[in-house]
Chains A and B, each alone.
Chain A
Amino acid sequence: MISENEIIAYLKQELGEDLIEASKPRERRVFVRIKVTTLRKAVNTMKRRFQTLRFMTISVVDHGLDFEFLYHFHVDGAVVTLRSEKRKEDNTLESIVDIIPAANFIEREIGELFGIKLVNHPKPQYLILTKDWPDDKRPLRRPLEGELPKQARPVAEALISTSCVAPISAFMQKKREEAGLPKTPPFAFTDEKAMQEFHGIMKDTSFAKKAGFDWKKKRLRHK
């Protein structure tokens, strides 16, 4: 019988850096967190290696800002779950039906109940809902919202992007100079190194992720 450690070691070897973390919280139970982009590769890899592999189901959790996809497999008496997260703005799920035909119906359920667009699914029609079901009212989909209440979002956005909850305007900079003060106080945003430190802390802790901050756009993903 293959051990939990052997399953983890094999997936680590095959997936490399695309495997984020793996754990075995109890006997014959394995969780493997992977990048969503490597999901099909992981499924393929498991099918190739484990001859007794049995697909169980897929669970989806709507966390508000992200979807979490959990693919459950039975391998030689152990339950192995591949976990991955995807931003809800993307709103697609690549089908694994060509690798695991048994995933057909559950993928269709996911597609219609969460409003996720299935990619390369052989028959992406509704399974449960009526044909005239409105696109914008999916039974299991939550609004695009993080942990912060609406009123707190501008403060969090200002804090993460500028290191300050009251960003200084050009008008205020001018007024400060007229009043004989330095244009800006010696804030982190005036110093590249200090700002790197501050942003590093925001990334290394869960603050920016919980707030739903988009580092490329330098603003929250939701208003």
Chain B
Amino acid sequence: MVRYASFLGCQIPMRIPSIEIASRKVFEKIGLEAVDLLGYSCCPEPVISRLLDKTAWLAVSARNLALAEELGLDLMTLCNGCYETLVETNEVLKHEPEELHKINEILKPYGKEYAGEVKVKHAVEVLYEEIGVDKIKQHVVKPQRIRVALHYGCHMYREPNGGDINRKPNMMKELTRVTGVEIVDYGIERLCCGYPSMQADEEFSLKQRLLLKLRHIKEAGVDAVVLSCPACQIQFEIGQIMLKQYGVQYRIPCINLMELMAISFGVSSKDLHLEFHKSPVLQLAQKMEAT
């Protein structure tokens, strides 16, 4: 059985736990053991913390990596933001011995040490590379006959050591296709949803980023947007509500890949508790169940 330390991050368990429920059900079905990382903290989030104090950013991240190392497991994350922080800090700690030494001196009084032995992977990579599309396909009992647009999220394109930035987005595309949906290209997949710029300029974030995406997605005539990043998910869902103040109204369901996969595996919308969503995901799932 494939085993990973599971890094849930902040947003999924605290804001959209239906993604946590869905991922636990999906992992169980496909034979992936996700071991909870006890005592973990925020990754820490990749925008503010890195800019404010790089040493703290590395040290908090190294503590999380050390927790996985103590379990003797590699680390898997469901969140794109956590992926970026953990991958990038891991690269620094693995390849810059002076930095690793400095960070371990900070961790030492707390009985922690990171040796640089952990690999960090996004859940999309683990599912694609270690479980495989064919095996996942065997569990699809309810192929979903809907049209969807994909939003991969900026951090999904992060690739250490100059690798192919489309590697993980392509994996996500193939994993989404396994659920039976038709993927519709809308042309601006790479554009940021605007989540990070919300903290700097809300109007810019909503009107110059999210609204552009929503317009293209709507014009593509899809039933839903599929995402893998909880921060993007929040931006798409809350952003649609906030856009009303600018006289713009959208109600596009925004579903996480794990939830879509769980539904295609036959898990009911009731068991997934899709009511946590702020967009009509529950209504979409109920409609899919009825057909």
**Chain A residues with a Cβ under 8 A of chain B:** 147-149, 151-152, 155-156, 159, 163-168, 172, 175-176, 178-181, 184-188, 190-191, 193-194, 196-198, 200-202, 204-207, 210-211
Give Cα distance in the complex from A125 to B37, angstroms: 61
Task: State the Cβ distance, A176 to closest chain B Cβ, in Å.
Answer: 5
Contact of A164 among B10, B59, B63 (CB under 8 A): B10
- On chain B, the residues within 8 Å of A147 by CB distance are 52
Closest A residue to B20 using CB positions: A181
Give Cα distance in the complex from A180 to B24, angstroms: 11
- Is A164's CB under 8 angstroms from B42's CB? yes
Closest A-B pairs by Cβ, 6 of them: A194-B39, A207-B56, A205-B56, A185-B13, A163-B41, A151-B199
Give Cα distance in the complex from A197 to B200, angstroms: 31
- Is B109's CB under 8 angstroms from A200's CB? yes
- Is B53's CB under 8 angstroms from A186's CB? no
- On chain B, the residues within 8 Å of A180 by CB distance are 21
- Is A205's CB under 8 angstroms from B21's CB? no
Give Cα distance in the complex from A185 to B36, angstroms: 9
Contact of A152 among B20, B21, B39, B199 (CB under 8 A): B199
Task: State the Cβ distance, B235 to closest chain A Cβ, in Å.
Answer: 14
Give Cα distance in the complex from A200 to B39, angstroms: 14
* B42, B45, B53, B112 interface centre (most CB from chain A within 10 Å): B42
Check B76 for interface membership: any CB of A closer than 8 A: no
Task: State the Cβ distance, B242 to closest chain A Cβ, in Å.
Answer: 15
- Is B39's CB under 8 angstroms from A193's CB? yes
- Is B56's CB under 8 angstroms from A168's CB? no
- On chain B, the residues within 8 Å of A179 by CB distance are 17-18, 21, 273
Check B106 for interface membership: any CB of A closer than 8 A: yes
- Is B55's CB under 8 angstroms from A206's CB? yes
Contact of B39 among A148, A159, A188, A206 (CB under 8 A): A188
Which B21-61 residues have a C-beta within 8 angstroms of A? 21, 36-42, 44-45, 48-49, 52-53, 55-56, 59-60
Give Cα distance in the complex from A202 to B59, angstroms: 9
- On chain A, the residues within 8 Å of B56 by CB distance are 201-202, 205-207
